[in-house]
Amino acid sequence: GENVEQHPSTLSVQEGDSAVIKCTYSDSASNYFPWYKQELGKGPQLIIDIRSNVGEKKDQRIAVTLNKTAKHFSLHITETQPEDSAVYFCAAPYDSWGKLQFGAGTQVVVTP
Amino acid sequence: DAGITQSPRHKVTETGTPVTLRCHQTENHRYMYWYRQDPGHGLRLIHYSYGVKDTDKGEVSDGYSVSRSKTEDFLLTLESATSSQTSVYFCAISLASASYEQYFGPGTRLTVT
């Protein structure tokens, strides 16, 4: 099975600074790595994902990088804003039926 | 929330009582999932379904059962609720297993006293 570890568990940044969250995975066959954002009282929302055939993907202020050799992938948020405050989860598939193994989450707090 | 509704949104029940949570989707997605979310554990898969009447167990299935008699509805039942099942439950859908993209509902907060 897959084991996903996520760090840090909490991250406090000043508005305008960058935030980086890192996840490691164990199954070298994994080929899809999503990131979810969860605001208080809501369900997780898919914000970006990357497949194993690319090393980086960007969408405005967020980006994800993948290092298959080291088996880790990271979420980068640039020019953070108060609305980026949320819990972020990474995940990796642990079988071919689409089941995902989630990291424990990172609480990001952006202070003005 | 990708056309997903969950009911009830909040429920308080007593230990030993049966509880059924409902997930309803409007977009005809084949794959549906039930997760529970607890502090420090992220999201853990309880059961999933890959079609009508086709279901299978996930990581934390003990004490839970599911049914899917229609494409749009996926029911999660706690046969005899215990305090350890106090959690937030999320339903998710996916168009196809190969894509892995999952979209989540708003959640149900269940408290077992």
Mean pLDDT by 10 residues, chain A (112 residues): 92 98 91 95 95 90 95 97 97 83 96 92
pLDDT for residue B23: 98
Torsion sign (Cα): B12, B75, B62, B79: positive
For residue range B32-54, list pLDDT tens digits in order: 999 999 988 889 999 999 899 99
CA end-to-end span of chain A:
41
Name which of B107, B110, B111 is nearest B34 in CA terms: B107
Residues with Cβ < 8 Å from A103, sequence gap 6 or more? A4, A5, A6, A23, A89, A90, A91, B42
pLDDT for residue B2: 67
pLDDT for residue A54: 84
Query: How far away is chain B from the Cα of A17, in angstroms, using its nearest Cα?
Result: 26
pLDDT for residue B4: 95
Please judge whether B42 and A89 are an interchain contact, meaning their C-beta atoms are less than 8 angstroms apart. yes
Taking contacts as CB-CB distances below 8 angstroms, the residues of chain B near A46 are 101-103
Nearest CA in chain B to A32: B100
pLDDT for residue A2: 82
Taking contacts as CB-CB distances below 8 angstroms, the residues of chain A near B97 are 96-98
Q: Least CB-CB distance to A102: which of B42, B48, B100?
A: B42
For residue range B66-111, list pLDDT tens digits in order: 999 999 999 999 999 999 999 999 999 987 765 678 999 999 999 9
pLDDT for residue B98: 57
d(CA B30, CA B51): 5
Q: How confident is the model at residue B1 (pLDDT cuts 50, 70, 90)?
A: low
Query: How far away is chain A from the Cα of B107, in angstroms, using its nearest Cα?
Result: 6
Q: How confident is the model at residue B16 (pLDDT cuts 50, 70, 90)?
A: very high
pLDDT for residue A28: 82
Q: What are phi and psi of A82, to 5 degrees?
A: -55, -35
Copy the structure tokens of residue B36. 């529970």
